[in-house]
Structure 1
Amino acid sequence: MSSLSSGTLMAGKIVYDQFLSGNRTGLEPVLIAAAVPARAKQRVAEIGCGAGAGLLCLSQRLPELDLWGIEADAPSIELARHNLAANKRENVTLLQATFPYDLPGTLPFCRFDHCFANPPWHPTEGTPSPHAQRDLARRALTDTLESWIKGCTRLLRHKGSLTLILPASLMSRACTALTEHRFGDVTLFPLWPKTGREARLMLIQGRYGVKGPSRILSGLTLHTPEGGFTPESSRILKEGEALRLSLQQVQAATRANPGNS
């Protein structure tokens, strides 16, 4: 295995190694894992799981899930296995495949309750990264976003959810692709860097085979004016609290805390 750097996720709750060079893990896998509306014992797949950060964070919050990770890069799959073993995660299956093109014709699993992904989004015509793994993780083909959304329809059960984290500049394309492939109840959740700053990242979630209306939630402010994490983002990034994006979750939270609605 290539040279690694050792660190942690979620304020030390998860030990996590990553490659010294190439794509580095940021806040995105922690945030997207917090947004998956899974319940105990459900089946969840991460598309493009990399070294396993998203799978680790989701299983930290919900240890009884049946988790799958799909990843094209063989060294990343090997590192994900290493990280999962180091954190004693035994309920995760990893599949090396370039999604969705070389998935097995007969999938070796039943339909999933939820899928989530942080798709590559850097433009195809941009300058290539000198690190092949970083380039694979970040460079989108012209149809990457649309093909990943369409590919998830092969995996999801009826009414299953798909959660994506994307640059705000891709919001329109993502919403169009979700609608074309029969996703409804589409929710947009902006991630504000600080109060008064425009959101560069967006969580987008839809449910397969439903016709519910779209909505934009108030989102999450990540940092205080001084640069530290806000109390709300700290509870998610450090303590593993869930983000509520689905209509059912928002309604349940409002009923439980009517003064905060």
Structure 2
Amino acid sequence: MVSAADVTVDDFLGGRVRLIQPRKGYRAGIDPVLLQASVDARAGQRVLELGCGAGAAIVCLNARIPGLTLTGVEREPLYADLARRNCAALEVVEADLADLPLCIRQRQFDHVIANPPYWSRSASVPGQDSAKEAAFDERTPLRLWVEVAARRLAPKGLMHFIHRAERLPDLIRALPHDMGSIEVLPIAARTGRAPHRIILRARKSGRGDFRLHPALILHEGDSHTDGDRYTAPVRAALREGAALEF
């Protein structure tokens, strides 16, 4: 177990969530909070997060929508331990998503969420922090993340992924044939900027038309000199635990 000197306790959702995180290594930012804010779940439903880390996304989802049945899969022992400490209601299964144990493979979920690693180290230099590398380095192909998520969904269940905007084609190509009703929410830093993130939603056995939503703008103003004030919907999601319109 990591010592108290090696962690910090950080406020999320305006203090409704206090998350224990490593002082060094991967630390959750706004992406997992925006991911969970896009999930339209209701009490009694089952939620699985692949690669849950210390639990930022799924713990914030639990604070926003009480009464969910929560399961997280995390490969790194350090983060799995922190996730357990961060939420007593969260079942954390320490495993690689490429080799899930039977206790996960025998179950179906109403929602599967994921914030996969963003970078391939085939095109960059790895760092020295092994846990941080695991969070950023795409060792497991993105295609496999999508396929595993789809297999774990119950009929009509929803998948939500957040990723870099340039990986949207890869995400869509990886969707199995039984995933439909695809929706994409682009996320841009400011008005007029190209989106740098996207949230992808898809439904098991969905038959709805593809929908590309207007971009979610993070910051007010045209440039950094105007300050980094969040726009109203982003501020409500990050500070007040509000859902994102999706």
Same fold, judged at TM 0.5 (above):
yes
CA drift of 1:109 comes to 5.6
Q: 1:113 aligns with which of 103, 107, 110?
A: 110
How many residues align? The count is: 237
C-alpha change, 1:135 and 1:181, in structure 2 (3 Å) is farther
Partner residue, 1:238: 239
Q: Secondary structure at the match of 2:14?
A: coil
Q: Distance in 1 between matches of 2:239 and 2:45?
A: 24
For the Cα contact (< 8 Å) 1:119–1:144, is it kept in 2?
Answer: no
The one-letter code matched in structure 2 to 1:94 is: V
Q: Secondary structure at the match of 2:219?
A: coil
Q: CA offsets, 1:175-229, max 9 Å, x none?
A: 1112x34211110101111111111011111011223221101131111113111
Partner residue, 2:119: 122
Q: Distance in 2 between matches of 1:241 and 1:106?
A: 32
1:191 and 2:187 correspond: yes
How do 1:8-157 and structure 2 match up within 5 A?
8-84=11-87, 90-99=88-97, 101-105=98-102, 107=104, 110-125=107-122, 126-141=124-139, 144-157=141-154
Question: Mind listing any 5+ residue stretches in structure 2 that lack a counterpart?
Answer: none
Partner residue, 1:259: none
Q: Distance in 2 between matches of 1:168 and 1:210?
A: 23
1:167 and 2:154 correspond: no
The one-letter code matched in structure 1 to 2:24 is: S
Percent of pairs with identical residues:
32
The one-letter code matched in structure 2 to 1:222 is: L
Partner residue, 1:158: 155
The one-letter code matched in structure 1 to 2:211 is: R
Q: Distance in 2 between matches of 1:244 and 1:232?
A: 8
For the Cα contact (< 8 Å) 1:222–1:230, is it kept in 2?
Answer: yes
Q: 2:216 aligns with which of 194, 202, 220?
A: 220
What TM-score does the superposition give when structure 1 sets the normalisation length?
A: 0.87
For the Cα contact (< 8 Å) 2:233–2:244, is it kept in 1?
Answer: no
For the Cα contact (< 8 Å) 1:45–1:67, is it kept in 2?
Answer: yes
Q: CA offsets, 1:216-250, max 9 Å, x none?
A: 011311111131111111111111111233xxxxx
Q: Distance in 2 between matches of 1:210 and 1:177?
A: 16
Query: What is the RMSD computed on CA atoms of the aligned residues?
Result: 1.5
CA drift of 1:161 comes to 0.6
Q: Distance in 2 between matches of 1:23 and 1:109?
A: 31
The one-letter code matched in structure 2 to 1:207 is: R
What TM-score does the superposition give when structure 2 sets the normalisation length?
A: 0.92
Q: Distance in 2 between matches of 1:175 and 1:218?
A: 18
For the Cα contact (< 8 Å) 2:181–2:207, is it kept in 1?
Answer: yes
CA drift of 1:108 comes to 7.0
The one-letter code matched in structure 2 to 1:240 is: G
For the Cα contact (< 8 Å) 1:37–1:244, is it kept in 2?
Answer: no
Q: Secondary structure at the match of 1:63?
A: coil
For the Cα contact (< 8 Å) 1:113–1:160, is it kept in 2?
Answer: yes
Q: Distance in 2 between matches of 1:186 and 1:244?
A: 16
Q: Distance in 1 between matches of 2:18 and 2:103?
A: 35
CA drift of 1:75 comes to 0.8
1:203 and 2:204 correspond: no
